[in-house]
Amino acid sequence: MENIKTINLHTYLKTYPDENGMFGEFGGMHVDENLQKAMREVDDAYNTICKSRQFIAELRRIREEYQGRPTPVYHAERLSKSLGNVQIYLKREDLNYTGAHKLNHCMGEVLLAKYMGKTKVIGETGAGQHGLALATAAAYFDLECDIYMGEVDMKKQSSNVAKMELLGAKVKRVTQGRATLKDAVDAAFAAYLNEYETALYCIGSVVGPHPFPKMVRDFQTVIGTEAKEQFYNMTGELPDTIVACVGGGSNSIGFFLPFIEDPVEIIGVESIGEGKETGKHSASMSFGEPGVMHGFNSYMLKDEQGNPAPAHSVASGLDYPSIGPEHAFLRKLGRTKYDYITDEEAVEAFYLLAKLEGIIPALESAHAVAYAIKLAKQRKTGSILVNLSGRGDKDVDYVLEHYKK
């Protein structure tokens, strides 16, 4: 295997994944034959369309005029000062339209659907964040949109259900299994298999069968590309360390990749929830085993029978029992590291950032902030650039009810 330190980013992006969707031993297309055929079609279309001048120009215009990109990099001076001498900077994906990074790949995926001549997009959602972003993109492009959602999640997130319907999407109730995210993914794939000639499946992270991990990461690299240039323009150098939270791994991979050729330490932060010993966590990189779920091979948390274990995190966007295959690959190459933060540490960071900087972070993003806070306390100097993946309006009621100060 090539030494990654000598690889340039352009070569890396062209080499990985290979045409079968493999990042080394991770990834792939572990789905039945019919779905493989559909995935190959999507892959072929994507490879052609994504290079066309028209597609690139349209996506660029949407990012500027509709999403409000570039999002800024912000020097969190009061937070930094309260911790010592290390300087903390935030890439403000919370200011991306709809309040998180997810619209970056949804706009790309639905634009692809339009270029492929599809009339509908299909997706799944857990807490509703991906469903909302996809429904927004579908409304923008005037395509039909079916969102599969577990009945249990629909009850918990009724305001997100209402918003998706307001945007013109159909929310499809899933009652099978535990009636949560995993079952919604299964139901959405089953529906897609019947409709793939007229519909495109749009996944919510860098997971699933090839080509999704590749497509979603390509659309998300806008975060790291912008952040690197912005940070350099502000400080005249690159950050010493970059940190992002990891659920399926999309905001982190998009933030990390543009830095992989640089002398920058890269750390992904998972949720250890209520602690390893309680089993209530979602740290699949730290405590998972190799395995296949949802069509790809990576690390995953397993129960005694070897099935995907239920995952937990105070941040619903992080409670996924596996992780995108490219993360597993980059760790094996020694280029990225993974660590974790507890529910309580994340909530602590949520309060601190609100108070010191006037920024209420998503609980997912608060994991990355909490980790940066820990590092800043340990170190004497240096800089840390954190990807603030989303804003925390959606979490305020929950935090105040369960963690009132």
Ligand X SMILES: *Cc1c(COP(=O)(O)O)cnc(C)c1O
Catalytic residues: 102, 124, 389
Smallest distance from the beta carbon of 233 to ligand X, in angstroms? 25
Per rule CB under 6 A, is residue 217 in the interface with ligand X?
Answer: no
**Rounded Cα distance, 52 and 67, in Å:** 21
**Cis bond upstream, residue 70 (ω within 30):** yes
**Rounded Cα distance, 334 and 352, in Å:** 32
Interacting stretch for ligand X, rule CB under 6 A, among 37-45, 230-238, 294-302, 358-366? 358-366
Which residue, 87 or 365, is less far from ligand X as judged by CB? 365
Smallest distance from the beta carbon of 156 to ligand X, in angstroms? 15
Tell which one of 226, 339, 357, 364 touches ligand X (CB under 6 A): 364
Tokens describing residue 241:
């360390």
Of 103, 75, 26, the closest CA to residue 298 belongs to 26
Quickly list DSSP for 277-321: GGT----HHHH-EEEEETTEEEEE-B-TTSSBPP---SSGGG--S
Q: Determine the residue with CB nearest ligand X.
A: 390
User: Angle at Cα 339 formed by Cα 233 and Cα 351, nearest 5°?
Assistant: 70
Smallest distance from the beta carbon of 362 to ligand X, in angstroms? 4
Smallest distance from the beta carbon of 280 to ligand X, in angstroms? 18
Which residue, 63 or 327, is less far from ligand X as judged by CB? 327
**Rounded Cα distance, 109 and 118, in Å:** 11
Name residues contacting ligand X, limited to 194-213 (CB under 6 A): 205
Of 34, 84, 65, the closest CA to residue 372 belongs to 84
Per rule CB under 6 A, is residue 390 in the interface with ligand X?
Answer: yes
**Rounded Cα distance, 171 and 5, in Å:** 46
Which residue, 253 or 376, is less far from ligand X as judged by CB? 253
Tokens describing residue 13:
């992006």
314-353 footprint of ligand X as x/- string (CB under 6 A): ---xx-----------------------------------
Which residue, 250 or 342, is less far from ligand X as judged by CB? 250
Per rule CB under 6 A, is residue 129 in the interface with ligand X?
Answer: yes
Query: What torsion do the CA atoms of 172, 174, 180, 183 make, to the nearest 10 degrees?
Result: -110
Smallest distance from the beta carbon of 323 to ligand X, in angstroms? 8
244-263 footprint of ligand X as x/- string (CB under 6 A): -xxxxxxxx-----------
Binding site for ligand X (CB under 6 A): 100, 102, 129, 205, 245-252, 317-318, 362, 364-365, 389-390
